[in-house]
Structure 1
Amino acid sequence: MSTYLLKSVRPLGGDPTDLLLRDGRIAEVGTGLDAAGASVVDGDGLVALPGLVDLHTHLREPGREDAETVETGTLAAALGGFTAVHAMANTDPVADTAGVVEQVWRLGRRAGWVDVRPVGAVTVGLAGERLAELGAMADSAAGVRVFSDDGHCVWDAVLMRRALEYVKAFDGVVAQHAQEPRLTAGAQMHEGELSGVLGLQGWPAVAEEAIVARDVLLAGHVGSRLHVCHVSTAGSVEILRWARSRGVDVTAEVTPHHLLLTDERVRGYDPVFKVNPPLRTADDVAAVREALADGTIDVVATDHAPHTVEDKDCEWAAAAMGMTGLETALSVVQEAMVDTGLLDWAGVARVLSSAPARIGRVAGQGRPLQVGEPANVVLVDPAARRRIDPATMATQGRNSPYAGTELPGRVVATFHRGHATVLDGAPASPRPAGDEEVDR
């Protein structure tokens, strides 16, 4: 394995120090370190964070390789500072069996850019009618611990209860896409004054909040872990606070775009801003920012959703929902949370690394930058500014809502178990296949 000496980096934005990465782990931490034969990285002015972990990534493979592949999606993740991602189950075929989740896991190992942890479907075919092979997926080589029908809500309360009961046996978690389907049939954007002005059918906040309320009650009743995907409304935040005050084991995520963008972006009918859940109001954005800062919302998860040009660049009603996010997530969090004083860099490490690793039960990820820990490290230049050009991104999806926008921060280097996947802001090389996994 390669040896790297990271000189004068600032762990979690603190005082400058050196990090020596050797044999896939952090070998030494201190000032004035030296190591014969080590590749030296000048980290002056760079913030060092534990490798980022995404709880919510759509890699599209198998079945929609025209939109994304495990190879392109995980390269995009590495360029964004991630060293692990959770691949959502809405592939074709759906990841609802041990065979399919193992296929995704092996594709991730072969690509080598990041660790890929498959998310298993809760129900067969995401149809919401009967439970998928939860136990078999948990016992597979992929070791699935997160289960979600994301893109579809597990709307049947009895089925949701059974899923929550089932996953307790192997310390799993059900990640709910909170959307009451009967309240959102045909919905196009957030329901409010603007939806009326634009003539687009509204997507009411209560459609999310009703499911969040039901499911925290179910989770509390059966004593199981619940995770709420892409929280987007102030009302959902209040329900989460209520549930936590009563000891319910519930965690939640917010996407970068729900931290920064509002429904005002829809005025031009640009389908790049069509997303599920929809962009909400400025009050909702303020509420989810506050909730992320105070820990009511645990993590930022990208909900990276690449689409083909044909599926996205068309009239609003026909356009697919979703945005890319892996290569811009850290910059958006800096813009929305760090540069506004709501989070420091230690807080960024919490919401983008340690908390998602804990929720997803990902060994070796989200660990402190200390001697003996796996060398999953990202170096960030917080003083940099960059203009976003989707055409230059590694993801196959060109549906970034930040095209032409200037954002702060730049990922300079990413180290995946001590191997440099990104150097000087550009792809270096994937982790060689067959390397020992130091975190298992």
Structure 2
Amino acid sequence: MKASPVWHPFTQHGLNEPIPLIARSEGVWLHGADGRSWIDAISSWWVTTHGHSHPRIMAAIAEQAGRMDQLIFAGWTHEPAETLARELTAIMPPALTRVFFSDSGSTAVEVALKMALGYWLHRGEPRQGIVVLEHSYHGDTIGTMSVGERGVYNRAYEPLLFDVTTVPFPHAGAEQATYDALEAACRAGAAAFIVEPLLLGAGGMLVYPPAVLAALAAICARHGVLFIADEVMTAWGRTGTLLACEQAGVVPDLLCLSKGLTGGAVPLAVTMASEAIYAAHLSTDRSRMFFHSSSYTANPIACAAACANLAIWREEPVRERIATLAARQAERLAALPGVHNPRLCGTVAAAELPSDQSGYLAQLAPRFNAAAREAGVLLRALGNTVYVMPPYCITEDELDQVYAVIAGFA
């Protein structure tokens, strides 16, 4: 058979690792074209919440596809977007009054950064500095790489990245250093601080408590610095609540949502903004409009999927499923032998496997991923950090299969 022309993300094709061909998916299961099946223990890169091919979401997609597929969103609108925006403002913090659509987590963050800078410019205070948290990851576009951790992910693109101020990660017992650094950056006139609330994903599933998040937000508020919450991964129940920020009583000025917004079925993202940020761009002067869009902004089919997801949250016991999964994760993580620094944040469990290397390029990762694949489980270690982030519908037996793979490798 002729080799595939596909160039896969985060894949070194020179290693000739097998790439399974998946024919269909249902619940937590991925079914291969060759008859094999895998438990999706990482929600296909953290997106699938209720399970693959959820009937209500699939039905909404099919119904909308038969009615309208795509519409320019600059100066035009459609009912799925209007409905979704109303429903989002109804369940998110009331201060977030405006909904701007985009199509991925990276673009949601880019939008937030641009809104923050536009806010200060239009107020006549052109603050430009962005403050970020050590080990953070916000995407792979130029702006999001700039506000993420510098290293192997983006070394080749360094000439394109803009400068930011980085504050240290708030390790237990060393939080004051983080507070002091953020305080100094805010006093210096920063425009915005961007953070992944409670859980840093690609940075190694690093966890910090709600009290720290609340303290960081309070520092920003004292100095009038905009607080951007990148909840692309942490929202929709991953950390145990609808938003991670709610555990800290924090309401951001800008909120980035994607991944679970559609239940993980199709790409869609939103950036929710406070009325003050919207008002700063509101004018009879066309030069003050918010200059951002993409061809598929607020795609009707994706918006219909998101509306179905919100209906599931309203009408099904999603929070109970999340609480059950969090408890099951806690039990299995506590019983897992041979791992270091086990940690839990809502439905996400993580730990370090024994290794003489650390960091994303640790050789343990491809060996572990291959062993999991052979055992019928999709797991994808971050260096020597292994994590379990399954759809909420996973059963006790299926979760046991996942942890058996980890225990066998530890």
What is the TM-score with the length of structure 2 in the denominator?
A: 0.28
Instruction: Give the TM-score normalised by structure 1.
Output: 0.27
Please identify which structure carries the higher helix content: 2
